C-alpha cells in the first residue's frame, strides 16, 4: 500500500503542482503524520520534493521534474494499471477520473512496459457486482491458473463439475475474473469459450504448448454477456414493491443480495416508484428487503410481509436481550 501511495503522491504533485500535507493526506485518506513520513521517504529516495512555509506554501516538485516510473518492473506496471479496472471505478463514481489517470500512466510508463500493462487489463477483471453463493473453498491452484493465463500457455486441469463428477480438460486460458470472493476462469475447450470456477479445479498444470487466443477476444465484454445469460438462468423469486428515494439509491449496492429489477414504473410526486424485483430465493429477498427498510412497501406476495415482520420482531427482541 505504501509504494502505491508514494506513486500517488508523485502523480498528484505532478498534476496539481503545490499541495499542502493536509491536502495530500485528505486526497489519499491518511493522517498528516503519515503524509509527512511519506514525503520524507520520497526526498530520501532522491525525488526533488520541496516544502515551503507560510501562506500559499506547501509541497511541490522541482520545476521541470517529471517521473516516468522507470523504476517499475513489468509485473508492477501491469498491477498498477489494473487498479483502474472499469467495474470498481464505476461503482465508486470514479470511472472517468481513473480512466484519465490510466491514460497519464500509460504515457508515463516506458514503451517497453506498455504492452505488459495493457496485457494485464486484457487478462484480469474485477467484477464488483453481487450474486448469492458460498465463499470460495479451495484456491490452491489459482497461482498455476494465473500463470497459464499470463504466459498464454495451455492449461491441463482436473475439474469437478456442478453434478460432482470429475473430468479432465485441456484448456486455452483467456482470462480470470474475480467476483464476490470467487475466481472464475474463462477458457476455450472444444472451440467454445466456457467459464470454470477456480475453486472447483482439483488439479492444474501449465503446459509448454502455446494457448490459442482469438484476436478479437475481449474479457470484459465476454464476461458481461456470459453473466447476463447466467443471471437469466438462475431460479427467480419475484417481488412487487414500492421503493422510496433512499431505498432506490441503496438497491443496487447490496453486494451478494443485490436484486435484479425487471419492471419499473415512473416515480410519483414523492419520488416513490413501483418495481418488480427478482431474487435468487425467498430467503435472500427477506434479507435484502429488510436492508432497504423503512423506505419500502411490499405489494406482492402478501405473505412475504409476514416474513419481514417476524424477522423484524425477532431482531428487536434480540436487541432487548442484549
Residues 255-274, mean pLDDT to the nearest whole number: 71
pLDDT above 80 (res 180):
no
33-48: pLDDT as tens digits:
888 888 888 777 777 8
Residues 194-215, mean pLDDT to the nearest whole number: 94
300 Cβ partners below 8 Å, 6+ apart?
A: 239, 240
Least confident of 98-102, 144-148, 273-277: 98-102
Q: Higher model confidence: residue 234 or residue 29? A: 29
Chain centroid to CA 255: how far?
A: 11
Pick from 93-107, 173-187, 200-214, 225-239 the range whose average pLDDT is largest. 200-214
Confidence of residue 88 (pLDDT cuts 50, 70, 90): very low
Q: What is the pLDDT of residue 252?
A: 61
% of the chain at pLDDT higher than 90: 19
Confidence of residue 72 (pLDDT cuts 50, 70, 90): very low
158-170: pLDDT as tens digits:
999 988 899 999 9
Q: What is the pLDDT of residue 86?
A: 47
Residues 219-233, mean pLDDT to the nearest whole number: 86
pLDDT above 90 (res 204):
yes
For the chain, the average pLDDT equals: 76
pLDDT above 70 (res 315):
yes
CATH architecture, domain defined by 2-119: Orthogonal Bundle (1.10)
Q: What is the pLDDT of residue 193?
A: 96
pLDDT above 70 (res 281):
yes
**Domain range annotation of the chain:** 2-119, 142-231, 237-321
Residues 58-87, mean pLDDT to the nearest whole number: 55
pLDDT above 60 (res 59):
yes
Cα 78–Cα 82–Cα 86 angle in degrees, nearest 5: 150
* CA dist., res. 263 & res. 260, Å (int): 9
CATH says 237-321 is which class?
Answer: alpha beta
* CA dist., res. 67 & res. 100, Å (int): 17
Residues 281-285, mean pLDDT to the nearest whole number: 84
Of how many residues is the chain composed?
Answer: 322
Contact 17, 63 (CB under 8 A): no
Cell of 283: 430467503
Write out the E strands in the chain: 49-52, 58-61, 124-127, 153-160, 166-179, 182-189, 192-197, 201-210, 237-243, 260-264, 273-279, 296-300
pTM, 2 dp: 0.50
Select 142-231's CATH number: 2.50.20, 2.30.30, 2.40.50, 3.40.50.
Answer: 2.30.30
Confidence of residue 236 (pLDDT cuts 50, 70, 90): confident
Amino acid at each position: 500500500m505504501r509504494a502505491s501511495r508514494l506513486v500517488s503522491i508523485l502523480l498528484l504533485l505532478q498534476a496539481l503542482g503545490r499541495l499542502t500535507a493536509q491536502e495530500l493526506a485528505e486526497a489519499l485518506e491518511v493522517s498528516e503524520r503519515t503524509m509527512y513520513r511519506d514525503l520524507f521517504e520520497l526526498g530520501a529516495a532522491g525525488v526533488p520534493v520541496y516544502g515551503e512555509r507560510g501562506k500559499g506554501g506547501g509541497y511541490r516538485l522541482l520545476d521541470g521534474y517529471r517521473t516516468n516510473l522507470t523504476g517499475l518492473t513489468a509485473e508492477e506496471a501491469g498491477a498498477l494499471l489494473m487498479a483502474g479496472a472499469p467495474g470498481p471505478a464505476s461503482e465508486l463514481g470514479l470511472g472517468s477520473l481513473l480512466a484519465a489517470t490510466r491514460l497519464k500512466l500509460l504515457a508515463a510508463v516506458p514503451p517497453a512496459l506498455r504492452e505488459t500493462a495493457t496485457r494485464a487489463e486484457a487478462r484480469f477483471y474485477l467484477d464488483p457486482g453481487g450474486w448469492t453463493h458460498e465463499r470460495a473453498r479451495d484456491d490452491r491452484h489459482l497461482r498455476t491458473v494465473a500463470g497459464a493465463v499470463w504466459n498464454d500457455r495451455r492449461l491441463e486441469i482436473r475439474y469437478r463439475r456442478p453434478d460432482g463428477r470429475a473430468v479432465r480438460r485441456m484448456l486455452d486460458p483467456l482470462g480470470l475474473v474475480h467476483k464476490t470472493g470467487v475466481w472464475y476462469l474463462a477458457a476455450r475447450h472444444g472451440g467454445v469459450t466456457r467459464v470454470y470456477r477456480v475453486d472447483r479445479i482439483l488439479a492444474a498444470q501449465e503446459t509448454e504448448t502455446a494457448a490459442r487466443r482469438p484476436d478479437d477476444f475481449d474479457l470484459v465484454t465476454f464476461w458481461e454477456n456470459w453473466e447476463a445469460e447466467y443471471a437469466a438462468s438462475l431460479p427467480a423469486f419475484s417481488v412487487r414493491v414500492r421503493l422510496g428515494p433512499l431505498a432506490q439509491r441503496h438497491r443496487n449496492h447490496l453486494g451478494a443480495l443485490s436484486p435484479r429489477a425487471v419492471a419499473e414504473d415512473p416515480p410519483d410526486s414523492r419520488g416513490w416508484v413501483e418495481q418488480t424485483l427478482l431474487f435468487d430465493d425467498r430467503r435472500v429477498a427477506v434479507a435484502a428487503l429488510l436492508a432497504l427498510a423503512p423506505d419500502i412497501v411490499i405489494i406482492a406476495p402478501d405473505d412475504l410481509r409476514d416474513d419481514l415482520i417476524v424477522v423484524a420482531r425477532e431482531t428487536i427482541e434480540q436487541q432487548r436481550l442484549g
